[in-house]
Structure 1
Amino acid sequence: MKRWQADGLLLAVAAIWGLAFVPQAWGMETLQPMGFTGLRFALGALVVAPLAWRERRRPAPVVPAGGPPRWLLLFGLGSLIFLGAALQQIGLVTTSVTNASFLTALYVPLVPVLGWLLFGRRPHWIAWPAAVGCVAGTWLLTGGQAVHMVAGDWWVIASSLPWALHVVLVGWAAGRLGAPYTVACVQFIVCSVLSLIAAAALESMSWEAVRAAAGAIAYTGLISVGVGYTAQVVAQRHTQPADAALVLSSETVFAAIFGALLAGDRLTAAGWAGCALILGCILLAQLPMLWRQREAGH
């Protein structure tokens, strides 16, 4: 897969995730956060399980010597998704979808910093203004006004660190293990098990509540997790984490668009300016790749 194809796939992932904010909020009307998270990731694991099984029947790839063992990598990725998804879902109980989409985007500038610290991958200088521009564009999508903080907002802010770590590590882990579908499936299982354990300890869940949230579970499990997160793993084997974070930040644009189409929301002039700024920053981040391709062609 070429890098532009990987970025295009990540753009599709961003669209899937942008639409998911609304059913995630709907799910909280009847289910509590840990139960909802556990069920949707269990459903996502079922979606990708046949691909993972087929992948495991092939000759096992040679894992490079050194570094953490396979099981620790997979458990770590699943734990990061669990932390990110759980904290975000708890936040959606009391914050708005708009605030959640904005505050989740705070992981974007964290990704190049963490990639630099963990792997010594110093990003191209363009990545820094592009990352800041994406966060500014997301703020404009909220109306360009002060975000009135409530308890849920702090939970969503806390989720930005595990999301950023996951974006930094998932492509590296999938490339190292040579098994993207297995990575996707196992991390979903880990997230689901941890969430359901937390639900059993901290929450109450009834069959009636699950039935009432069936539509939200179906979309966020089958599409957002099963398709979206799996496509992220596949795509990030072929692009850099900082670029991936910038492309994925467009989920806030799609969240605003789908909110206007499906929930009757309206984008203000500031909101449209935010959409344009985010998309412009994503295109800006592609310039180094285009320059290198142009130089290679001469």
Structure 2
Amino acid sequence: MKPLKAELMLLVVTMFWGSSYLFMKMGLDTLGEFNLIALRFGLAFILAAALFHKRLRRIDARTLKYGALLGFLLLGVFTCITFGLKTTTTSNAGFLVALTVIFVPMIEVLVFKKKTAPPQIFGAVLAITGIGLLTLNASLHIGPGDLLCILSALFYAVQILVTGKAVKTCDTLNLGILQLGFAGGYALVLSAIFETPALPSTLPGWTAILALGILCSACGFIMQPIAQKYTSPARTGLIFALEPVFAAFFGYWFVGEQLSMQGYAGAALVLLGIVASELLGKIPAAPHLPRGLKKRRADL
């Protein structure tokens, strides 16, 4: 697969995930948080396993191990988002979860000891300033929902990095299917402990579960590892930066959510920081030439 096709697939995945905040809000009106996650990923796993059952027969121990780990990370991501959405808007959630792109290079620096480029530092400062404008209220307190969405972005960053490593040695399709099954299984256990598992009882509830299960999960999380094999984690993170744009669009179009002027300024800084961190870091610096060589080049 060519990188362009892979990145277009990731763009479609990003659009699905941008819509997921709205569908999660809908589902939470009638379902518990872990119940919603279990139904979402359980449905996605059943559909994907039925469609690719022959491929699943070739699962090895390494793919199973990475599937279990990625499923746990997905559980962390969506537990934070679903609990966070109870006390924040879809737009806020989308922009805060997009901080994944800032966290990816930060983790690479702290864990893998990679050097930090100045554009990444500049982008991080812009994004952190944007978070402040987007989330802090008049008393300078951040809401619990916003804090959970930031934590979700951290889980997401780890998930992207682990996926980038796993796809080098694992069957990408099986990996995508297994992480859905493990995430749904973990959530079902937690729902049985802390909630009462149930099926949706309303049409909006079923709409939310079907959209989350089929589009946002079955398609999204299977397409992600397949496409990510042909591009870099950094470029994956940059494409995912469009997720809050889709989230804000769906929130505005379907439920009329709007940010304040301060919120729009913060959202713009978050996006600007993300883009600066990724794009500016890829611009090659002009090589330093001795004065005499510069003059001779100019004379040519």
TM-score by length of structure 2 reads 0.78
Q: Kindly tell me the number of residue pairs found equivalent between the two proteins.
A: 283
* Aligned equivalent of 1:261: 253
The yes-or-no answer on 1:202 pairing with 2:194 is yes
Instruction: State the Cα distance separating 1:131 from its structure 2 match.
Output: 5.4
**Partner of 1:76 in structure 2?**
69
SS at match of 1:175: coil
Matching residue of 2:161: 168
Superposition deviation, residue 232 in structure 1? 1.5
- 1:8–1:89: structure 2 CA closer, same or farther, 3 Å change rule? same
Q: Which residue of 1 aligns with 2:294?
A: none
Q: Secondary structure at the match of 2:168?
A: helix
2:31/2:200 contact within 8 Å kept: no
- 2:207 aligns with one of 186, 202, 215: 215
Name the residue aligned to 1:102. Answer: 95
* Structure 2 alignment gaps of length 5 or more: 286-300
CA shift for structure 1 position 86: 1.2
* Equivalent position of 2:5 in the other structure: 5
Structure 2 distance, partners of 1:49, 1:121, is 38
Aligned ranges 1:1-298 → 2 under 5 Å: 1-50=1-50, 52-56=52-56, 69-119=62-112, 122=115, 126-130=119-123, 133=126, 142=134, 149-177=142-170, 179-207=171-199, 209=201, 213-266=205-258, 271=264, 274=267, 278=271, 282=275, 285-286=278-279
For the 8 Å contact 1:16–1:224, the answer to whether it is kept is yes
CA–CA distance in structure 1, aligned partners of residues 2 and 114 of structure 2: 20
Please tell me whether the aligned partners of residues 35 and 205 of structure 1 are also in contact (alpha carbons under 8 angstroms). Answer: yes
User: Are 1:44 and 1:221, in contact at CA under 8 Å, matched by a contact in 2?
Assistant: yes
Alignment-mate amino acid for residue 199 of structure 1: S
CA spacing shift, 1:202–1:210, aligned 2, 3 Å: farther
> CA offset at residue 91 of structure 1?
1.5
Unaligned runs of 5+ in 1: 293-298
Deviates more, 1:96-105 or 1:276-285: 276-285
Alignment-mate amino acid for residue 44 of structure 1: A
Distance 1:248 1:257 in 2: 15
Moved more, 49-58 or 221-230: 49-58
Amino acid at match of 1:43: L
Question: Which digits, 9 at most, give the CA deviation of each residue in 1:14-67, with x for residues without a partner?
Answer: 221111111111111000100000000011113322554343467x8xx9xxxx
* RMSD (Å), alpha carbons: 3.4
Give me the whole-angstrom Cα distance separating, in 2, the residues matched to 1:148 and 1:218. 36
Pair 1:139–1:45, CA change in 2 (3 A): farther
Contact 1:112 1:122 in 2 (8 A): no
Cα gap change, 1:192/1:121 in structure 2, threshold over 3 Å: closer, same or farther? same
1:167-213 Cα shifts (integer Å, max 9, x gaps)? 11112202211x11100110000000000000001002334547651
